Amino acid sequence: MPDSISPTGTPNPKMTARNVSVYYGDKKAIDNVSIDVDRDNVTAFIGPSGCGKSTFLRTLNRMNDTIPSARVEGDIKLDGEDIYSSAMDVVQLRARVGMVFQKPNPFPKSIYDNVAYGPKIHGLAEGKVELDTIVERSLKRAGLWEEVKDRLTDSGTALSGGQQQRLCIARAIAVDPEVILMDEPCSALDPIATAKIEELIHELRGRYAIVIVTHNMQQAARVSQRTAFFHLGNLVEYGQTTDIFTNPRETRTKDYITGRYG
Amino acid sequence: MNTGMDHTVKAFDDDLSELRGMISEMGGRSELALDQAMRALANHDLELAEKVVVSDKVIDELEAEVEKRIVQVMALRAPMADDLREMVAAMKIAGVVERIGDYAKNIAKRIPLMTDSRSIEAVSLLVSMADIAKEMVHDVLDAFAARDADVAVRVCERDQAVDDFYNSIFRTLVTFMMENPRNIGESAHLLFVAKNIERIGDHATNVAEMVYYAVTGDRLPDRERGENPTDEPVG
């Protein structure tokens, strides 16, 4: 028997969700999901379109707040702190729990400014020298520094798609987050750019808790240590990635990952 | 493994059923090879023995083809979960079944080297021993085709009977050799035949373990493999 992990049995989890349901108006998009996000591992959310994986990801930094009809029930905690409490500063939360989207969305500003923007508004740098250090460190961690160090004043939008996505990751890293959420970060990228992002995820593991939503099961298999399978708003199975892809316990998981999903 | 729902990509199912068919054919051919080799031995039928040796090439070719197809499926379909386990098991099973064919061929090759050995008592024991091994091969490939872990477990349990036969034949032949040194040449050949059949039983057990893994995703627990170190056949 492989060791299955209980969704809520992670020792020392970075984030915990308990009995979370999400509604869009009357429609229930997420039904009573409880899951832990491990701080040292990459967690992948997989499932067919409309299964709720992106919706659930967005509850982890309150991105659903921006959708008027969306309503979230249940508890979500970041290091034990309730992120939906009235005391929680949402801007601060989104700095601690950063997000990278499907389509790279750099600001129409210079490469430098794209990365410096967050640290500036959050007051993380005192003076130009410190800001320069943060920008360089973030671009290095995002694996982009060597490619852009001589043209930091060029517009971020002039970069290739893969570079833009790494710029967005650098931007997320620049504010020194604790968790990085990635919503299909490679679906608009070619295989080489995808491989670079996957390598980057591997590099960032351990420094940040990472949660990635992906349609590409091979990608989930390659980058994550834990995989959660969502279906029709339910968390069907959560386990070690190796177990999910070699020996899933649930028929629905098996049918989905083997390409039998009807 | 799945018998119920089809893959969304139907060509994947076609690939899998072709592969299963080829492995069944390999199994059927090695079972037949053992059967014919033993009949050739019991009747000192040199023509039939030769036929077994020649037919082994077909099994070898099938194995090469199965391997090629599995590599293709792995590369092109990226099988997951039970499909992945089935491909890994199929790859190993094809190799093992090819070995079973080799053992049958090896038995057949000895027959022309022996004078008529029909009168030796051990030969009838060897035929009974081979019957069990043959059934094990037959049943374990049925288990693979039917994705039946229970049948696989029962195949493993029968290996003990083959081992018991081996030990008994070993003692019989040693006694026979001691009675008259002129029996030694003949008996040595028959000892190798016994060993080959004993190995076929072991290989059928290996296949059963792979079937169990492919079906359940777990390794067959040791106690169900019928393994008991003190009962290991000698020699």
| Chain segment A104-142, per-residue pLDDT in tens | 999 999 999 999 999 999 888 889 999 999 999 999 999
**Residue A101, φ and ψ in degrees, nearest 5:** -100, 175
Q: Which residues of A touch B80 (CB under 8 A)?
A: 217, 245-246, 257-259
- Quick: pLDDT tens for A72-87: 999 999 999 999 999 9
Tell whether A1 lies on the interface with B, counting CB pairs under 8 A. yes
How much of chain B, in percent, has pLDDT values that exceed 90? Answer: 80
Of B7, B9, B217, the CB nearest to A247: B217
Domains defined along chain B, listed by start: 10-231 (1.20.58.220)
Whether B80 sits inside 8 A of A247 (CB atoms) is no
Contact A1 B218 (CB under 8 A): yes
- What ipTM was predicted for this assembly? 0.75
Report the amino acid identity of residue B173. L
Give residue B229's pLDDT band: very low, low, confident or very high (50, 70, 90): very low
pLDDT surpassing 80 at residue B222: no
Q: Residue B175 to residues B117, B148, B211: CA-CA distances in angstroms?
A: 16, 42, 39
Burial class (CB in 10 A: 0-12, 13-18, 19+), B176: middle
A254 close contact with B: CB closer than 8 A: yes
Distance from C-alpha of A136 to C-alpha of A133, rounded to nearest angstrom: 5
Do A99 and A180 form a contact (C-beta atoms < 8 A)?
A: yes
> In this complex, do B85 and A2 lie within 8 Å of one another by their Cβ atoms?
no
Q: For chain B, what percent of residues have pLDDT higher than 70?
A: 92
Question: CA B93 to CA B71: how far, in whole Å?
Answer: 14
Between B149-179 and B184-216, two packed helices, what is the crossing angle to 10 degrees? Answer: 170
pLDDT-based confidence at residue B235 (cuts at 50, 70, 90): low
Q: Which residues of B touch A259 (CB under 8 A)?
A: 7-9, 12, 80
pLDDT at position A6: 74
A37 to chain B, closest Cα gap in Å: 24
Q: Do A245 and B81 touch (CB under 8 A)?
A: yes
What pLDDT is attached to residue B141? Answer: 95
For A21, half-sphere exposure in the C-beta direction (CA atoms, 13 angstrom radius) is 8
Structure tokens at A153: 């004043």
Residues 6 or more apart whose Cβ sits within 8 Å of residue A2: A239, A240, A242, A243, A246, A247, B217
Instruction: Give A-chain residues touching B218 at CB under 8 angstroms.
Output: 1, 247
pLDDT digits (tens, 9 = 90+) for B125-137: 999 999 999 999 9
What percentage of chain A exceeds 90 in pLDDT?
Answer: 83
Dihedral angle, C-alpha A220, A225, A231, A237, nearest 10 °: 150
Predicted confidence band at A3 (pLDDT cuts at 50, 70, 90)? very low
Q: Which of A1, A245, A262 shows the shortest C-beta gap to B80?
A: A245
Look at A246 and B2 and tell me if their CB atoms are within 8 Å.
no
Q: Are B26 and B94 in contact (CB under 8 A)?
A: yes
Burial A81-92 (b: 16+ CB within 10 A, else e): eebbeeeeeeee
| Token pair for B29 | 């051919």
**Is A48 an interface residue toward B (CB < 8 Å)?**
no
pTM (predicted TM-score):
0.83
Backbone angles phi, psi at A83, to 5 degrees: -80, -15
Q: How far apart are CA B90 and CA B88, in angstroms?
A: 5
Q: A242 — contact with chain B (CB < 8 Å)?
A: no
Q: With CB atoms and an 8 Å threshold, state whether A257 touches B79.
A: no
Give strand pairing partners of A73: A21
Output the pLDDT for position A4.
52
CATH assignment of A13-257? 3.40.50.300
Type of residue numbered B72: Q
Min distance A184 CA to chain B CA atoms (Å): 21
Report, as an integer, the average pLDDT of A84-109.
93
At residue B171, the pLDDT reads 95
Q: Where are the domains of chain A?
A: 13-257
Contacts of A181 by beta carbon, 8 Å cutoff, 6+ apart? A57, A58, A60, A61, A97, A98, A99, A100, A211, A212, A213
Q: What is the DSSP string of A127-180?
A: HHHHHHHHHHHHHHHTT-HHHHTT-TTSBGGGS-HHHHHHHHHHHHHHT--SEE
Residues A141-146 have a mean pLDDT of: 92
Tokens of B220: 């067959």
> Which pLDDT score is estimated for B88?
95
Average pLDDT for A165-190: 93
**What local confidence, expressed as pLDDT, does residue A66 receive?**
87
Residues of B with CB under 8 A from a CB of A: 2, 5-9, 12, 78-85, 217-218
Average pLDDT over residues B213-217: 94
Q: Are strands A42-46 and A209-213 parallel, antiparallel or unpaired?
A: parallel
Task: Name the residue in chain B with its Cα closest to that of A259.
Answer: B7
Residues of A in contact with B220 (CB under 8 A): none
- Output b/e per residue, A106-136; b: 16+ Cβ within 10 A: beeebbbbbbbebbeeeebbeeeeebeebbb
**Do B5 and A217 count as a contact with CB atoms less than 8 A apart?**
no
Q: State the helix-helix crossing angle for B81-110 and B184-216, rounded to 10 degrees.
A: 170
**What is the C-alpha to C-alpha distance for residues A45 and A43, in angstroms, rounded to an integer?**
7
- Is A2 in Cβ contact with B7 (below 8 Å)? no
The pLDDT of residue B232 is 57
CA distance A46 to A94: 23
